[in-house]
Amino acid sequence: MELLRRLRLGLGHQDLAFAAALVVLLAVLVLPMPKWLVDLGLATSITLSVLILMVAIWIERPLDFSVFPTVLLVATLLRLALNLATTRLILADGHRGLDAAGSVIHGFAVFVVGGDFIIGVIVFAILIIVNFIVVTKGAGRIAEVAARFSLDAMPGKQMAIDADLAAGTIDDTEAKRRRKELEDENSFFGAMDGASKFVRGDAIAAIIVTLVNILGGIIVGTLRHGMPIGGAATTYVTLAVGDGIVSQIPGLIVSVGAGMLVSKGSVRGSTDKAFIAQLGAQPKPLYFAAGLSGLFAVLPGLPFLPFLALGLVAAGGGYLAHRSVQRAAAAAEEGLAAEPPAREESMAELIRVDDIRLELGMGLVSLTAGRQGGLTEKIKKLRRAFGLEFGFVLPAVRIKDNMDLASGEYSIQVQGVEVARETMILGRLLAFAPGGQEIGVPGIDTQEPSFHIKARWIEPALREMAMAQGLTVVDVETVLTTHMSEVLKGYMAQLQSYAATQKLLDGLEKEHQRLVGELIPGVLPLATVQKVLATLLAERISIRNLPLILEALHEGATFTRNVSLLTEHVRQRLSLQICRGLTQEDGYITTLLLSPEWEREVGAAIVEEGDQRSFAMAPSKIQELVSATRGRIAEAAAKGDWPAVLTSAGARPFVRHLVERINPTIAVISHAEVHQRAKLRTVGTI
């Protein structure tokens, strides 16, 4: 138990253990090591290399072993330190026999190469060739290409993530995770490109160390210890080759692990499973290999049993692969038999209606894969602006290409219905004068889609000239998103759905959840709250102060359940916000006052039946009121004013419905909504 406790305590300080191991490793470079410690280090090097190879085989993807470049550096440093320690032992004690550098080197020198230093030299040379020329060079080239391609693909992958985020396919958390994974991937392949040089340098160092051990050993043995040159050559070459093989085998294993890691590429799953699955997936190659092995088995001079055994194994694999293909075909047929449910799912996907859909002509598709700050980024900012200005969560905008549209044409759809369509010229800028003055820059005349003022498509080189004339110059992405913003403001009420309202309520802070629980559903149903919010948004009244709106609904529910009356009560509680939004730069609210005569006419046309109210004015009177209002607004606009219509609280909803026919952006407020600190300036009477 005490041993387990100490082991847990040691594992709890892994950072200290790792630092201590590195200190010991550095000490090996400068301090003489006893033979038992060198044996331990060589055994550690071999075991570590096998562990690295096994991890490289069984990981699911390269990033699961992202610490590999660091591990490779540590393993290389360990082998070089051990090379220095063994060189010190060989040169100092080599004259005493083959066990001078420890049991590990002695074992490899005697058992692996049979005690014949010529065989040892040949084996060592083969290991060097395989490691240095074949494995290391190939792995280094793969790492170099992977790093280059990963870096080149990074902008496209980032834009794809931004496009998915703007379209609502993923949320911010998933986008951050993907960006982090992309950064890790680029860093990993970049580090692997450099780490491959460690392996190559280690192979070169092994050759140099072996030559030093041979030449230095012969010199030391003959000149210092009086050994005959033949005996010195045999002893020191055997020790040097044994040391080289002990060093090269872990190096080769690590090189193979590095090669497997960087060559994994897009293969998903562990290497062993992918290897077997892909080599044994097709029965025909296996049958062909079985036939070829059987042919070799009967050729004179070739061993019969090995080729026959391999042929039988390949034939068995081909049979299993054939059975697997048959089972897959049967499963596919069963899938075809059960196709109606799949067709129902496909049909459900086909008829699904997006809340907001932007369709682009083929000439505008490139905007979605544009630079930072392009279309997808601007749509993302547009959604944020709607939230800040109106407290309205704009649904995700699904962007699709449409070959039926003209090349520079785009279509804005709300809940499956096209609400706007315009044409742009890609590669040009739109210049327009907000004040209506003439545009003195050459280009193609058009109309600014959001506010319907004269504009002109100009070449980008003329931007400075246009701006010098006081013109506003914007790119096509800004034109499109501004148009979309103005269009969608008119459909916020329609998009404020039951589900969207529930999400707003769920997102309220914890201290407001009690109010929500008391109001819904005990006092008012969620549908009523949704209709009130939609009515406010229809008149572009921000619902960002949702707790105050809920409090007003709780108050209003004590005397009415009528949506219109509840909305009027909420508007009165929002009087400060409403008046602040209408206040102009001089601190005044410009208004058109509804005359007492029209107030009486509107009041007389309101029919009340219990809690319900309806409007029953004669069509001729409605036309007369609309014409009078349109005339007064035109007069005010000619003077540079954009007034709000001021009327009584009871008449306000019905006057609003009439004014909406003229321009839905004209505000209609009641006397009860005028805040006590607001200052009014009346510019006319209707």
Count of C-beta atoms within a 10 Å radius of residue 506: 9
Count of C-beta atoms within a 10 Å radius of residue 509: 7
**Would you call 272 exposed, middle or buried from its count of C-beta atoms within 10 A (0-12, 13-18, 19+)?**
exposed
Count of C-beta atoms within a 10 Å radius of residue 524: 19
Say how far apart CA 44 and CA 102 lie, in whole Å: 14
Angle (CA) 275 279 280, round 5°:
115
Sheet of 454-458: strands edge to edge?
444-447, 454-458, 429-432, 472-474
Residue 347: both structure tokens together: 């049909």
Q: Which residues of 350-377 are buried (b: 16+ CB within 10 A; e: fewer)?
A: eeeebbbbbbbbebbbebbebeeebbbb
Say how far apart CA 229 and CA 236 lie, in whole Å: 10
Residue 268 has what pLDDT?
A: 56
Residue 332 has what pLDDT?
A: 56
Q: What is the pTM of this model?
A: 0.52
Residue 336 has what pLDDT?
A: 43
Residue among 501, 531, 549, 542 at smallest CA distance from 395:
501
Say how far apart CA 118 and CA 124 lie, in whole Å: 10
Q: Are 233 and 112 in contact (CB under 8 A)?
A: no
Non-local (6+) Cβ contacts of 21 within 8 A are: none
Q: Are 271 and 65 in contact (CB under 8 A)?
A: no
User: Are β-strands 417-423 and 472-474 bridged in parallel, bridged antiparallel, or unpaired?
Assistant: unpaired
Say how far apart CA 472 and CA 437 lie, in whole Å: 12
Domain boundaries along the sequence of the chain:
32-140+194-269, 282-324, 352-492, 496-577, 583-685
CATH class of 352-492: alpha beta
CB hemisphere CA count around 117 (13 angstroms): 17
Non-local (6+) Cβ contacts of 392 within 8 A are: 386, 492, 495, 496, 537, 542, 543
Residue 345 has what pLDDT?
A: 46
Residue among 507, 496, 590 at smallest CA distance from 534:
496
Any idea how long the chain is?
Answer: 686
Q: Are 87 and 207 in contact (CB under 8 A)?
A: no
Residue 271 has what pLDDT?
A: 61
Say how far apart CA 129 and CA 652 lie, in whole Å: 92
- DSSP 8-state class, residue 401: E
Residue 533 has what pLDDT?
A: 92
Low-confidence ranges of the chain (pLDDT < 50): 1, 3-4, 7-12, 336, 339-340, 342-345
Q: How far is CA 117 from the centre of its chain?
A: 58
Residue 149 has what pLDDT?
A: 67
Residue among 276, 277, 129, 142 at smallest CA distance from 206:
129
Q: Are 459 and 359 in contact (CB under 8 A)?
A: no
Peptide bond into 460 cis (omega under 30): no
Residue 151 has what pLDDT?
A: 67
Say how far apart CA 685 and CA 628 lie, in whole Å: 10
* pLDDT tens, residue by residue, 472-515: 888 888 888 889 888 899 889 888 888 888 888 888 888 888 88
Which helix H or strand E contains 595, and what residues bound it? none
Amino acid letter for position 46: I
Q: Is 293 helix (H, G, I), strand (E, B) or coil?
A: helix
Say how far apart CA 465 and CA 445 lie, in whole Å: 17
CATH class of 496-577: mainly alpha
Non-local (6+) Cβ contacts of 134 within 8 A are: none
Residue 303 has what pLDDT?
A: 79
Q: Are 431 and 466 in contact (CB under 8 A)?
A: yes
Q: Are 236 and 244 in contact (CB under 8 A)?
A: no
Residue 325 has what pLDDT?
A: 67
Arch. (CATH architecture) of 583-685: 3-Layer(aba) Sandwich (3.40)
* pLDDT tens, residue by residue, 97-120: 667 667 777 777 776 666 566 777
Residue among 448, 456, 454, 453 at smallest CA distance from 480:
448
Say how far apart CA 402 and CA 407 lie, in whole Å: 9
Residue with token string 């409007």:
615
Question: Cα Rg for the chain, rounded, in angstroms?
Answer: 41
